[in-house]
Amino acid sequence: MTRIKHLNVNGARREVDADPERSLLNVLRDDLELTGAKYGCGEGQCGACTVLVDGQARRSCVTAVGRIGESRITTIEGVASEGRLAPLQQAFLEENALQCGYCTPGMILSALALLRENTAPTEAEVIRAMDGNICRCGVYPRILSAIRRATALAEGGEQ
């Protein structure tokens, strides 16, 4: 098995030395100290580990790092640019769309992937896209509001 020697993460080429069978989540967290992606279930059911791979939401806990190749990975640490929060991050704060915050990075990245594909999703489309992400604190209504708010921001609409 060829070991994985580098990954493209958050716009930078990062050196690693990883067994290809290891999960992407594990390599990001333990080798690259990008701990924003969380372990929640290990079976792709809760979305806490969500990262973007070439812009698509991917459950990093069930993705072998050997399958990533040259794809571009975005973790929550790469969402804000130059210290400026992305509209979705801002919207999560404004809507208080978090309690313990453990699901928040996965929620933001799943929503980001949705909004890249569909700049004006309907409520039903948002629910369908987000339904794989669990929040045990139950802030779903606020997350929906945050996504709506971010959509409005992106459209240049009112706050």
Would you call 28 exposed, middle or buried from its count of C-beta atoms within 10 A (0-12, 13-18, 19+)? buried
H or E element at residue 72 = strand 72-74
Q: Which of residues 57-116 bind other proteins (CB under 8 A)?
A: 75-77, 79-80, 85, 89, 92-94, 96, 98-105, 108
Site string for other proteins, 125-154 (x = CB under 8 A): -xxx-xx-xxxxxxxxxxxx----------
Q: CA geometry: angle at 71 spanning 62 and 154, to 5°?
A: 95
The residues near 124 (Cβ < 8 Å, ≥ 6 apart) are none
CB 142 → other proteins: shortest distance, Å? 7
Question: Counting contacts by CB under 8 A, is residue 29 touching other proteins?
Answer: yes
Which positions touch other proteins (CB under 8 A)?
Answer: 19, 21-22, 26, 29-30, 33-43, 45-46, 48, 75-77, 79-80, 85, 89, 92-94, 96, 98-105, 108, 126-128, 130-131, 133-144
